[in-house]
Amino acid sequence: MTPAVPPEDPVARHLLPITASVSSAGALSVGGRDLVGLAEEFGTPLFVYDEEHLRIRCREAVAAFGPGVAYATKAFLCKEMAVLAHEEGMSLDVSTGGELAVVLAAGVPAERLVMHGNNKSAGELVEALEAGAGRIVVDSFDEIERLSRLCAPGAGAVPGPRPLRVLVRVTPGVEAHTHEYVMTGQEDTKFGFSLATGAADEAVSRLRSLPGVELAGAHAHVGSQIFRLDAFAREVAAMVPFVTRHLLGECCIGGGLGVAYLNDEAAPSMAEWATVVRSAFADAELPPGVRVTAEPGRSIVATAGITLYRVGTVKELPGLRTYVAVDGGMSDNPRPVLYGSGYEAFLPREPLSPRAMVVRVVGKHCESGDVLVEAAHVPADLAVGDVLATPVTGAYGYAMASNYNRLPRPAVLFVRGGQARLVLRRETTADMLALEV
C-alpha cells in the first residue's frame, strides 16, 4: 500500500511518475524534462508520460503474472505504447477493430493479441481471425453463431494450420466495490456468460463443437478501479470449479487493480494484487498446469501520465467559490463528468508549495458540468497564464478524449532520460475539417 497524505499538503509523491523530481529552482521535471518548459515547447493541453514508469509497471506485471499477462490497451493506446508494452514482454488486449488496427500497425505480432468485445461485428472477427490473433474472448451466443459461420469449412476466414484459440468470458456473480459504470462481474451485466445459470457451461459445449476452434480457457473481469482485493479472491473462487470441471488450460482474471488519484488515497501494488490472486487460486485448488493470466490497464499507465493545462481565467465569486478555467476540460478528461472522479491539481513551477487555496478547476466547454476538479487545493499565488497540472491522468483520459465543441485532441509526449518524443501529435482543425464531405 502507498502512503496517504493530507489533501492540503503539496501533491503527494505517490501520485507522481517514478522519475518525477524537483530541480534546484524548485520546479517539477519528469523524465529529465521540466514540465513548464514542455508546455511552452509543445503547447497545452498536453499529456506527458514518464516512459520509464510505463516500462517499470509493465515489467512488474510480467513478474507478477508471467508473459501471458496482457496490457489492456483501452486505458491508453497509440503505436508507441503498443511497442513499449510488447518490448517489455506483455501481450496486448484489444476490444475493437480500431484498437486491433493500431496494435497491428505498431508491428506487434498478432499471436500476442487478445481480442475482446461484447458485440464484435463479423468484420471485426474476420480482421482478428485473418491477422491470427492469439486469443479471442467469446462473449455471447450470437458471437458463437458468428464464429461458427466464419470458421465453417470453406468460409475461408481462418488462416494457417493452427486452430482459432478462444477463451469463454464468464460472469462470476461478484460485485466489486467500485463505480457501477465500471462494475462488470455481477449477474446483471451485458458482458459474458453467467456461471450461476449454466449459460457458461452451455457456451463451452457449443464452442467445443465448432470445427477449427480450440477452447483454451476462461476469462472474467469484475470491474475497474478496485481497491479491495477480496473481490478478486471471490472471482477466483467462482471461476476455479468451472475451469476444473471443463479441464480448461487457462484462467484470466481480467484487469481492475485500482490506483490512487488523491493525496489521501492508497492503492495496492501490482505485486500485492498478484499475491492475493495466487493465494486464492491455491485455496480453490486450481489444477496444476493451468495458466493464470491478467489484463491490467489503468495500473500500468495511470500514474505515468500528467496533463498540463494553461490557466486562462480566474473568476472569484465572493462567498461562493473561485473558478479556475483551463484550456482543456471534459474533452480530454471525461472521467470527472462520467464517474464523479476526483483529481489533485498543482503548479509544476512550485510542486512543493502548500496548497492553501481551494478552487474549482473547469474547462472551456459550453456546459456547467465541464468540471475537472470539483475542489482543488492549489497554491494561493496561482494566476492567469500559469501551467496547471493534474496528475494520474494516464489512463482513460486521452483514450476517452473527444473533440466536443470541436476542441482538438491534445498532443501526447513520452519523456525519458532528458528526451521528449511526440507519440501522438496535436489534432488540428484541418484534421476535423477532413471529415467533412
Residues that bind ligand PLP (CB under 6 A): 72, 74-75, 93, 116, 221, 224, 254-257, 295-299
Residue 147 grid cell: 464464429
Residue 66 grid cell: 508471467
The residue among 102, 136, 104 whose CA lies nearest residue 120 is: 136
H or E, element range at 248: none
In the sheet with 21-22, reading across from the earlier edge strand, the strands are 21-22, 28-30, 33-34
Give 5 or 115: the residue with its C-beta nearer to ligand PLP: 115
Minimum gap (Å) between residue 288 Cβ and ligand PLP:
26
Give 200 or 420: the residue with its C-beta nearer to ligand PLP: 200
Cβ 41 vs Cβ 34: under 8 Å: no
Q: Which residue bears the cell 519523456?
A: 415
Give 93 or 124: the residue with its C-beta nearer to ligand PLP: 93
What span, in angstroms and rounded, lies between the C-alpha atoms of 209 and 195? Answer: 20
Minimum gap (Å) between residue 277 Cβ and ligand PLP:
13
Residue 317 grid cell: 465569486
- Active-site annotation holder among 78, 251, 252, 366: 366
The residue among 398, 406, 403, 393 whose CA lies nearest residue 361 is: 393
The residue among 16, 47, 81 whose CA lies nearest residue 333 is: 47
What span, in angstroms and rounded, lies between the C-alpha atoms of 415 and 431? Answer: 25
105 Cα distance to chain centroid: 20
Minimum gap (Å) between residue 271 Cβ and ligand PLP:
15
58 is an active site residue:
no
Give 99 or 327: the residue with its C-beta nearer to ligand PLP: 99
Minimum gap (Å) between residue 214 Cβ and ligand PLP:
20
> Length of the chain, please?
437
The residue among 129, 137, 79 whose CA lies nearest residue 108 is: 79
Minimum gap (Å) between residue 238 Cβ and ligand PLP:
16
Minimum gap (Å) between residue 292 Cβ and ligand PLP:
15
Distances, alpha carbon 79 to alpha carbons 44, 59, 423, in Å: 22, 19, 8
Residue 177: phi and psi, rounded to 5, are -85, 90
List the catalytic residues.
366
